[in-house]
Amino acid sequence: MESTRALRADLFDPASLAALGRIEIIARWIVDGFMTGLHRSPRKGFSVEFAEYRPYLPGDDLRYIDWKIAARSDRWVVRQYEEETNLRASIVLDVSRSMDWSGAALRTAGASAGEAAARLTKLAYAERLAAALALLLLRQRDAVGLVRFDERIRTAVAPRARTGQWRRIVSSLEEPGAGRASSAGIALQQAARLINRRGMVVLISDLLMEMDEVESAMRGLRAVGHDVTVLHVMDPAERDLPSSGEAVFVDPESELTVPASVADVRVAYRNTVDEVIGEWRSMLGSLGIAYEVIGTDAPFGVPLRRAFAARQQLP
């Protein structure tokens, strides 16, 4: 059991895993590991109960053809399963400047200071998470799109389930961004326009933005029936300051700087962070929106489980 878990990429340290290859390769490993875990656990697995037969259509996977019926009656039919929901989903990814930040190096067991692996920036973590989530949904035969934003829309890929969509999304993730501000409201409205019926929207962001703007856009999404999940990406250094030392705090989007003694502000800082997280959780929860804080040191399987659980709840 433990050896199997050790081989699952979705349970690896994110920084160590990301060092092994490109986004496309890492996402495939993550999803393969994640699906292995789901298949081993009936409570967390895919809903693959047989539902009904339907006529074979060109392009259907040949694995699902019932060859016994074909041989007996010369009629080609496909076994259809409950997992085939034809969901339409948009992943909304924040690529603003505040996302392109990492707080510290991670020291792996037995490694020297020079061998410490740099923790992924919030953006690098979020890009790999978005790629893995897109691939996971596509493998479920869902239509998936991508909206990337900073102070404006950088990418708007309409949801599709057809061949080539995966490459389209991966190529978009490699495009530049990192503008100063975060206009999540505009991006969420764009995501809604790309889904022409009830679907799923996943926002991946550090949420360093105005809550009122996000709340207004979220209300609009919920009003038309979209299921929404928010994955709040944070570097561990954003939640807990070191115990001592002098520091200059810099807002990467406004470039405001504030020098301070860490010892003087550490407790107040942590309380403020917890308060802000509580406000996001309360506001989003009141709208029926799933919300989870994700540290950039958390294995990719953690946020994937949250997003996939939201998908499974849809009718």
In sequence order, what DSSP letters do the residues of 170-226 get, joined into one string? Answer: HHHHTS----S---HHHHHHHHHHH-SSS-EEEEEE---S-HHHHHHHHHHHHHTT-
Averaged over 244-259, what is the pLDDT?
Answer: 71
Look at the pTM and tell me if it is higher than 0.85: no
Report d(CA 31, CA 312) in Å as an integer. 16
pLDDT more than 90, % of the chain: 48
Q: In the predicted model, is pLDDT for residue 223 greater than 90? A: yes
Q: In the predicted model, is pLDDT for residue 167 greater than 80? A: yes
Q: What is the pLDDT of residue 15?
A: 93
Averaged over 119-137, what is the pLDDT?
Answer: 95
Q: In the predicted model, is pLDDT for residue 84 greater than 70? A: no
Query: Tens digit of pLDDT for each residue in 5-40?
Result: 557 899 999 999 999 999 999 999 999 999 888 755
Query: Tens digit of pLDDT for each residue in 260-285?
Result: 777 778 888 899 999 999 999 999 99
Q: What is the pLDDT of residue 111?
A: 42
DSSP string, 38-75: HHH-TTTS----EEEEEE--TT--GGGB-HHHHHHHS-
Q: In the predicted model, is pLDDT for residue 305 greater than 60? A: yes
Better pLDDT: 267 or 250: 267
Question: What band does 81 get if pLDDT is binned at 50, 70 and 90?
Answer: low
- CA dihedral 126→132→134→135, nearest 10 degrees, is 160
Question: What band does 183 get if pLDDT is binned at 50, 70 and 90?
Answer: confident
Topology given in CATH for the domain delimited by 2-40+85-312: Rossmann fold (3.40.50)
- Single out the residue of 151, 153, 9 nearest to residue 90, CA to CA: 153
Q: What is the pLDDT of residue 22?
A: 94
Of 168-177, 202-211, 295-304, least confident by mean pLDDT is 168-177
Better pLDDT: 313 or 211: 211
Q: What is the pLDDT of residue 35?
A: 87
Residue boundaries of the structural domains of the chain: 2-40+85-312, 50-81
Question: What band does 62 get if pLDDT is binned at 50, 70 and 90?
Answer: confident
Averaged over 280-291, what is the pLDDT?
Answer: 97
Pairing, β 77-81 against β 117-118: unpaired
Residue where the block lists tokens 């409950």: 82
CB 92 within 8 A of CB 135: no
Better pLDDT: 309 or 253: 309
Q: In the predicted model, is pLDDT for residue 125 greater than 90? A: yes
CB 77 within 8 A of CB 53: yes
Averaged over 180-197, what is the pLDDT?
Answer: 84
- Name the average pLDDT for the chain: 82
Query: Tens digit of pLDDT for each residue in 200-217?
Result: 999 999 999 999 999 999
